[in-house]
Homo-oligomer: A and B are copies of this chain.
Amino acid sequence: MIEDKNKPKTSLADLGEFGLIEHLTKNFKIKQESTLKGIGDDAAVLDFKDKKAIISTDLLIEGIHFDLSYMPLKHLGYKAVMVNLSDIYAMNATATQVTISIAVSNRFPLEAIEELYEGIYAAAKTYNVDVIGGDTTSSTKGLLISVTAIGQANEEDIVYRNGAKANDLLVVTGDIGAAYLGFQVLEREKQVFQADPNNQPDLDMYTYLIERQLKPEARRDVSGLLKELEVKPTSMIDISDGLSSEIIHLCKQSEVGCNLYEDKIPLDQQVISTCEEFNMDSTTIALSGGEDYELLFTVSQEDFPKIKANPNFTVIGHMTDASEGMNLITRSNEKIALKAQGWNSLESEE
């Protein structure tokens, strides 16, 4: 959309930094009771009363974390918020506020930044979080977004990574691997388009995969679902770097091992069919793909009856003594050591 020649283009320099911030944030309404002061002073002021404050932050950089040739700016804004809220939900907390900082090169007209903020606004509205501050500046190259998400929780409800015990069940929400395959589909279409710009792609077969890549939803619902079921996880983490890497984090911090069962990993039908088409192994994609923004948690065995019928949750393994290591039990009943093969975002070239 930033290439649409018919739209008016407004230079960011004409507005200036303060004008831009005012223009972009004038529609943000404060809804959270804990927000005493949002945008407009040196800092925001929040009141968590007897609750604890939960803080997480992430950077998204053009050319590293997203490609604007197939990522609409509105989706990018939405996703930047989701990535951060997911970390708050992974603490079993409620997300309440975000700060949004962006750096843009002068390649972007105001209308492009407005699209980005439409996505941010949509995410904030849907997930009921206040945008309470940020910074807006220019970059020498491309677009970058830095989000800090803030949440709150009662101390007794907070779930850390380090509480898993041997024999606890390992549970994942939703299904895994679709976001990475969505990325693969979009990358392929980009190559096709570059070779022949008149080629119109038919992406109907991949709608779920593409949606998971371009418009992920954070699992805001899980904390409430677990509360209703009267289950408190013993440990929890969000799946942003691939199932394998996140299981290893839980195991190391909890000082336990685990057995993950290949045949239990929840895969969407589009993941299975697209893996066949791309000649990829669906287990490898689930283990190492990343960006699913589902939650991974452990529960005591005695909670199994409470969660087993819930379609949001799949038991994919169990924790063991640390001495047994971290293993994948394959469909053919072989035991293979889990490896962290999440995307390593530090390997790109300048």
Contact = CB atoms under 8 A, between A and B. Distances in A.
Interface of A: 12-13, 15-18, 20, 36-37, 40-48, 52-59, 61-65, 86-88, 90-91, 93, 97, 99, 101, 103, 105-107, 132-142, 144, 146, 148-151, 153, 155, 158, 160-162, 236-238, 253, 340, 344-350
A139 B64 contact: yes
A51 to B, nearest CB: 9
Contact of A55 (B90, B133, B340): B133
B137 A64 contact: yes
A349 B57 contact: no
Contacts of A59: 101, 103, 135, 137, 146
A93 B43 contact: yes
Contacts of A345: 17, 137-138
Given A12-B346, A138-B64, A146 B101 contact: yes
A41 B347 contact: no
Contacts of A91: 41-43, 45
B17 A346 contact: yes
Given A41-B161, A42-B237, A103-B61, A348 B55 contact: no
A90 B138 CA distance: 24
Tallying the copies of this chain within the complex gives 2
Contacts of A93: 43
B46 A160 contact: no
A46 B57 contact: no
10 cross-chain pairs, A with B, having the tightest CB-CB distances, nearest first: A43-B56, A42-B90, A146-B146, A105-B350, A63-B140, A46-B53, A42-B87, A141-B141, A148-B148, A57-B99
Contacts of A142: 140-141
Given A93-B43, A144-B103, A151-B43, A138 B347 contact: yes
Contacts of A63: 140
Contacts of A101: 57-59, 146
A244 to B, nearest CB: 13
A137 B61 contact: yes
Q: Which secondary structure characterizes the binding site on chain A?
A: mixed
B46 A16 contact: no
A43 B90 contact: yes
Contact of A132 (B55, B90, B103, B348): B55
A344 B139 contact: no
Nearest to A58: B135
A21 B153 CA distance: 26
A350 to B, nearest CB: 4
Contacts of A346: 12-13, 15-17, 20, 136-138
Nearest to A140: B63
A87 to B, nearest CB: 4
Nearest to A107: B350
B42 A52 contact: no
Given A106-B350, A238-B42, A146 B48 contact: no
A58 B43 CA distance: 11
A162 B134 CA distance: 19
